[in-house]
Amino acid sequence: MTKITPEIVAEHGLAPDEYARVLEIMGREPSITELGIFSVMWSEHCSYKSSRLHLKKLPTTGPQVICGPGENAGVVDIGDGLAAVFKMESHNHPSYIEPYQGAATGVGGILRDVFTMGARPIAILDPLRFGSPEHPKMRHLVSGVVAGIGGYGNCMGIPNVGGECTFHAAFDGNILVNAMTVGIAQQDKIFYSAAAGVGNPVVYVGSKTGRDGIHGATMASAEFDEKSEEKRPTVQVGDPFVEKLLLEACLELMAGDAIVAIQDMGAAGLTSSSVEMASKGGVGIELIMDDVPQRETGMTAYEMMLSESQERMLMVLKPGREDQARAIFEKWGLAFAVIGKVTDTGHLVLKHKGEVVGDIPVGPLTDQSPLYDRPWERTPKRAVIDAATVKGSDDLGATLETLLGTPDLCSKRWIVEQYDHLVGGDTIVRPGGDAAVVRVRDTATKGLAMTTDCTPRYCLADPVEGGKQAVVETYRNITAVGGLPLAITDCMNFGNPQRPNIMGQFVGAIEGMAEACLALDYPVVSGNVSLYNETMGTGVQPTPAIGGVGLLEDYTRSASIRFKAAAETILLVGETAGWLGASIYLREIAGSEDGAPPPVDLAAEKRNGDFVRGLIRHGEVVTCHDVADGGLLVAVAEMALAGGIGATLSTPETEVPPHAFWFGEDQGRYLMAVPPDRVEAILDQAKAADVPVTVIGTTGGAAISVDGRHKVSMSALREAHEGWLPRYMAS
Amino acid sequence: MKAAVVVFPGSNRERDIALALQRASYTRPVYVWHGETELPAGTDLVVLPGGFSHGDYLRCGAMAALSPIMDAVKAHAARGGYVLGVCNGFQILAEARLVPGVLMRNASLRFVCRDVHLKVEATDTAFTGGFKPGQVVRVPVAHAEGNYFTDDETLNRIEGEGQVAFRYCDADGAVTEAASPNGSARNIAGVFNAGRNVLGMMPHPENMTEDVVGGTDGAILFDSLAKALA
């Protein structure tokens, strides 16, 4: 038997005091297999040891919530006996090392999380953060990540309808690849992971187990250094075809009543799935490792327990249902094996070649996992920038053209077109606008609005306001298509939590998010934490990516951003103070990333959102856009470009300097375009609702002009907007 | 119209096409598993749907073309029965030699999903009877291997014999290189067999059959079939 030395313990990423706790729990020196199990279960990735304490502060309940965080995905009531099931996860570390497979298996993992719950996935969304476009590796990373996401999702036949893609040097050493899946399940057919029924068979289905991905969870729980390239073998390789078969086979079996519990094998594979199932059910599980379907010969129990081979599931079946289940999986050409049984011992017992190679009490393994109250320091407040002191713009049209051609604001068509966003035939509002809208099958007129948002530069400047802003931007994007925001999933991407300033960012973001969720009745139902997004001591910008899901009772009454007709009146909802701190204008035009980010007024967000949503739901508004990155003029240009119709704008009477009025990033704002004969009624309603609405212009023409002086042609804007990304990728 | 939609392991647009057929004909098509050896009695139309049959491993459509059901599909076509292959279905038809030519990797080497314009080249078939000659329609594509290729002699022949169904064009109907999403020879988006009872096409008319998803141009194809096979 392998002698466990301090070196072996360190290689497994366990701190000395953590190993002392292992010895205490076991009452003896663990076997190498047992040590491996402790190491992955107690890794940051699986145990949330640095974040658990703070995640508890997030609101997770509400009348719409069927299942909050803790299961494979969150479950929300959408009426008609149906539920939306969704979650977002990160696959940052693997995607940097091997972009195609890292991103592909990220998509595969989150799809599995959703269909494990009994839901058919209906959409994928992918927020991506890349480093500086000039970084020598970046083009390769963009190309590989996008191809990997497309390669997996397209083959699965799940439309990819949204996400974000921005660039900043802070992500040079650690790109962020997050993936969200939304699925639909019947409320009475939701599957959970708690094992039950002593003697019930534990069944393994899906791909065979190989040596790929061993210690992936441990890799995701450490900083990168110059040797990270050597970690390539720990990146898993995906097979979307097998996952498609697994999806269909699982849903076919789930239509019956043979399953007691089901859990996908994601990070830490067989270990985390069996431990989770036993722990949630308060039972033991015995596994016969010889019966695990194996891709390679001579695999040890250690390797099998720690493999992260993809496209695998663990199930507990009702007694006597093995043959029924086997027939379904064999029809789909998938491995099926009874590899163990549920026991009453409360232990995870592993037998291999006639010997017990692991025997761990499940309760202590999970309950006594490390929990750290890491020291943290609050992020110092930045000074508010007076817009009057920021370099102005002599030609708003030319400035707009410049901004639309920047990496963050340019069209992401090059990416979107590599994802099948139409398969299924239910995509009502396509990607490229605010939220996407996907029709809910087997209902009369229901649709789901979905979006992912976060503004890392705000979060860096002020994690509390940034956390709030990420939540409210999803709220606004869902509202802007006519959806009622229901709940969110979060993917918390931060640096090394052992640094008090990073931990302070995390704590601050949670605080802001919690405040926004409470104010908007918009709870968190699932999520993921990705720490150690840090290379050689430099962390990423804090990025609490938020995925929001909302409900449209009638998808025929949705709005989209494109101008639909000329001679419509353009209305601005919300207050404009001309906030330039931490804005894109400040960064791209004035060359500074300073300043406090725009404050979020949650009461105004709710008021303005309810007002806009009401108009869309009553069919009074079909053209709407949330005002976000780049400010008002950028938002107008996005609507104009989407519709191929220009706009004539005039600056209302204001104290705000023109560059701040048109490019400031004040929150809580929307743009709407409506026929002129509707304007008066809308202004009256706005007054009654205490919502500021201002007429700022008219649609029409082949240019965007402001106050008759500043003018830029639509063709120039289109060239700037569409040109950057394809040119960058081809260069 | 009695339609059968073949489901291969990895098919993923079978439901989309079944709904489009149902909207046109008010009859629900039957799904047929690829491992079957017979089509349902009285089948008028067989559809091979889009997707990634067998993961597109080996070569797109290569393994599906050898599926047990394909003998029955070939016999159906030989009898003059109608067969429609869309996207991966087109690739399968090409691999099974039921339509001329092959589908290669897109010239861009990337997957492409977007709306394209098609010029309808033949309107005297069961598939296209509802289109106007030369009509320009808008439907989406979603594929990585849609680059149609065959030798010049074959291209000349199929053009001469009215076997080209659709070509990629711009919104005004001009057949230009820039209008093609994949680099297809002579912008060919869809071809018939010699008997014009088998059609293979890369674009997805089934995803453009309702105003709410962006248009109804694709419905014309299914309406044509429903009318011809009523």
Supply the pLDDT for residue A220.
60
> Does residue A42 have a pLDDT over 90?
yes
Return the bridge partners of A110, or none: none
Domain hosting residue B49, numbered range? 3-228
Return the bridge partners of A348, or none: A285, A360
**Residues of A labelled catalytic:** 45, 91
Which of B111, B206, B208, B209 to mutate to test binding with chain A, by most A CBs within 10 Å of its CB? B111
Q: Considering its fold, how many domains does chain B have in total?
A: 1
Would residue A435 count as lying in a domain?
Answer: no
For residue A230, name the pLDDT band (cuts at 50, 70, 90).
Answer: low
CB A663 within 8 A of CB A632: yes
CB B197 within 8 A of CB B83: yes
pLDDT digits (tens, 9 = 90+) for A486-527: 999 999 999 999 999 999 999 999 999 999 999 999 999 999
Number of Cβ pairs < 8 A linking chain A and chain B:
85
Q: What is the mean pLDDT of residues A153-176?
A: 97
Can you count the helices (H) and strands (E) in chain B? 5, 11
Would residue A86 count as lying in a domain?
Answer: yes
Closest residue in A to B20 (Cα–Cα)? A425
Residue A444 per-residue DSSP state: S
Q: Do A241 and B142 touch (CB under 8 A)?
A: no
Chain B residues within an 8 Å CB radius of A151: 111
Distance, CA of B54 to CA of B64 (rounded, Å):
7
Q: Do A157 and B140 touch (CB under 8 A)?
A: no
pLDDT digits (tens, 9 = 90+) for A64-83: 999 999 999 999 999 999 99
> Does residue A57 have a pLDDT over 90?
yes
Q: Among residues B60, B87, B95, B145, which one is catalytic?
A: B87
Q: What average pLDDT does chain A have? A: 95
Widest CA span of chain B, in angstroms? Answer: 45
Provide the residue type at A186 as one letter: Q
Distance, CA of A69 to CA of A391 (rounded, Å):
46
Distance, CA of A151 to CA of A139 (rounded, Å):
18
List for chain A the helix, strand, coil content (%; round to 5): 40, 25, 40
Supply the pLDDT for residue A231.
59
Supply the pLDDT for residue A266.
82
CA-based nearest distance A155→chain B, Å: 6
Residue where a domain stops, chosen among A307, A332, A367:
A367
Q: Please tell me the number of Cα atoms within 13 Å of A54 on its side-chain side.
A: 24
Chain B residues within an 8 Å CB radius of A156: 12
Q: Do A423 and B114 touch (CB under 8 A)?
A: no
The reply to whether A237 touches chain B by the CB within 8 Å rule is no
Q: Do A155 and B16 touch (CB under 8 A)?
A: no
CATH of the domain at B147: 3.40.50.880
Residue where a domain stops, chosen among A316, A337, A367:
A367
pLDDT digits (tens, 9 = 90+) for A445-482: 999 999 999 999 999 999 999 999 999 999 999 999 99
Per-residue pLDDT of chain B (230 residues; tens, 9 = 90+): 999 999 999 999 999 999 999 999 999 999 999 999 999 999 999 999 999 999 999 999 999 999 999 999 999 999 999 999 999 999 999 999 999 999 999 999 999 999 999 999 999 999 999 999 999 999 999 999 999 999 999 999 999 999 999 999 999 999 999 999 999 999 999 999 999 999 999 999 999 999 999 999 999 999 999 999 98
Locate A688 and state its tokens: 């009654």
Assign A173 to helix, strand or coil.
Answer: coil
Chain B residues within an 8 Å CB radius of A425: 15-16, 19-20, 206-207, 209, 213
Domain hosting residue A591, numbered range? 559-731
Residue A344's nearest CA partner among A318, A362, A365 is A362
Chain B residues within an 8 Å CB radius of A418: 110-113
Distance, CA of A590 to CA of A598 (rounded, Å):
17
Q: What is the mean pLDDT of residues A618-622?
A: 97
Chain B residues within an 8 Å CB radius of A424: 15-16
Supply the pLDDT for residue A408.
98
CA-based nearest distance B192→chain A, Å: 24
CA A719 vs CA A148, A410, B67: distances in Å: 28, 10, 48
Supply the pLDDT for residue A216.
63
* Residue A385 phi, psi dihedral angles, 5° rounding: -90, 130
Residue where a domain stops, chosen among A345, A367, A389:
A367
Q: Please tell me the number of Cα atoms within 13 Å of B130 on its side-chain side.
A: 17
Q: What percent of chain A has pLDDT over 90?
A: 92
A146 torsion bin: left (phi>0), alpha (psi -120 to 50), beta (else): alpha
Q: What is the mean pLDDT of residues A286-301?
A: 95
For residue A228, name the pLDDT band (cuts at 50, 70, 90).
Answer: low
Q: Do B207 and A239 touch (CB under 8 A)?
A: no
The reply to whether A344 touches chain B by the CB within 8 Å rule is no
CATH of the domain at A117: 3.90.650.10
**Nearest CB to B52 within list A241, A332, A427:** A241
Chain B residues within an 8 Å CB radius of A422: 113, 140, 142, 204, 207, 213
Closest residue in B to A424 (Cα–Cα)? B16
Supply the pLDDT for residue A235.
74
Distance, CA of A428 to CA of B212 (rounded, Å):
6
Residue A160's nearest CA partner among A110, A210, A199, A200 is A110
Closest residue in B to A436 (Cα–Cα)? B213
Could you report the predicted ipTM of this complex, rounded to two decimals?
A: 0.96
Burial grade of A68 (CB within 10 A; 0-12, 13-18, 19 or more): buried
Closest residue in A to B15 (Cα–Cα)? A424
Widest CA span of chain A, in angstroms? Answer: 86
Supply the pLDDT for residue A536.
87
**Nearest CB to B207 within list A239, A416, A422:** A422
pLDDT digits (tens, 9 = 90+) for A172-222: 999 999 999 999 999 999 999 999 999 999 999 999 999 887 766 565 666
Q: Do A418 and B56 touch (CB under 8 A)?
A: no
Distance, CA of A653 to CA of B151 (rounded, Å):
68
Would residue A449 count as lying in a domain?
Answer: no
Q: What is the mean pLDDT of residues A143-168?
A: 98
Told to judge if B204 belongs to the known catalytic residues of this protein, a careful annotator would answer: yes
pLDDT digits (tens, 9 = 90+) for A529-577: 999 999 988 899 999 999 999 999 999 999 999 999 999 999 999 999 9
pLDDT digits (tens, 9 = 90+) for A380-404: 999 999 999 999 999 999 999 999 9
Residue for token pair 């969200």: A180
Which of A415, A419, A420 to mutate to test binding with chain B, by most B CBs within 10 Å of its CB? A420
Supply the pLDDT for residue B99.
98
Burial grade of B134 (CB within 10 A; 0-12, 13-18, 19 or more): exposed
Distance, CA of A177 to CA of A90 (rounded, Å):
6
Q: Do B15 and A425 touch (CB under 8 A)?
A: yes
Supply the pLDDT for residue A45.
87
**Nearest CB to B213 within list A244, A419, A428:** A428
The reply to whether A428 touches chain B by the CB within 8 Å rule is yes
Q: What percent of chain A has pLDDT over 70?
A: 97
For residue A93, name the pLDDT band (cuts at 50, 70, 90).
Answer: very high
Locate A107 and state its tokens: 């998509």
Residue A276's nearest CA partner among A195, A156, A167 is A195
Assign A496 to helix, strand or coil.
Answer: coil
